[in-house]
Structure 1
């Protein structure tokens, strides 16, 4: 499930992912991301993962298509989580985007919130 957090404003989108992300989550999320790109040209994304297990196949496909089409539309991405595979996923993203991408542990949420706004 994907929750849009209250810090979302301007070109910053803040989300919390729990359990599995579904196609319905992306049907809600992608219009917001497209609006940010259209209006501000660059996205700053605070992506918090708590109890996150991954994506359903259709959700993963939607995510992958958006990421490939908009690889250069991200300015900064803060990935916040507590699992080794989440940190690994963050490192894997770096060569495929021009964005500054950084991983933070869940205990560093406040630091991540400040970093994404700088």
Structure 2
């Protein structure tokens, strides 16, 4: 499941992922991205993962389509999680975007929120 959380506003999209993400979850993000782009701004995405187990295949495909379509539209991406593979995903995506990309552990989520707002 993907929840939109309170940090969202301006050019920030803030989400919290848990369980397995599906295509419908990823489709929630696309209108938010376009609302920011329509204002002439780049997107900052705060992506928190708690009890997150990954994507089902259609969800992964939708996420990949969104990310490749909008690779140049991101300014900053911060991923917050508690598992080594989540940090690995963060490192893996860096060459595919011009955005600043960082990873923080869950206990450092407040620092991550401050960073995405700067």
User: What is the DSSP-based 3-state SS (H/G/I as helix, E as strand, rest coil) of the residue aligned with 2:46?
Assistant: strand
Q: CA contact under 8 A between 1:81 and 1:104: conserved in structure 2?
A: yes
TM-aligned CA distance change 1:9 to 1:100, over 3 Å: same
Q: In the alignment, what sits opposite 1:26?
A: 26
1:16 equivalent to 2:16? Answer yes
The total of aligned residue pairs comes to 118
The alignment partner of 1:46 has SS state of strand
Say what the alpha-carbon RMSD is for the aligned residues. Answer: 0.9
TM, length-normalised to structure 2: 0.96
Task: Give the distance between the partners of 1:36 and 1:15, measured in 2 at CA.
Answer: 15
Contact 1:11 1:40 in 2 (8 A): no
| Structure 1 unaligned residues grouped into runs of 5+ | none
Task: Check the 8 A contact 1:2/1:25 in 2, yes or no.
Answer: yes
Deviation of residue 42 (structure 1)?
0.5
Query: Distance in 1 between the 2:111 and 2:10 partners?
Result: 20
Distance 2:41 2:62 in 1: 20
Unaligned runs of 5+ in 2: none
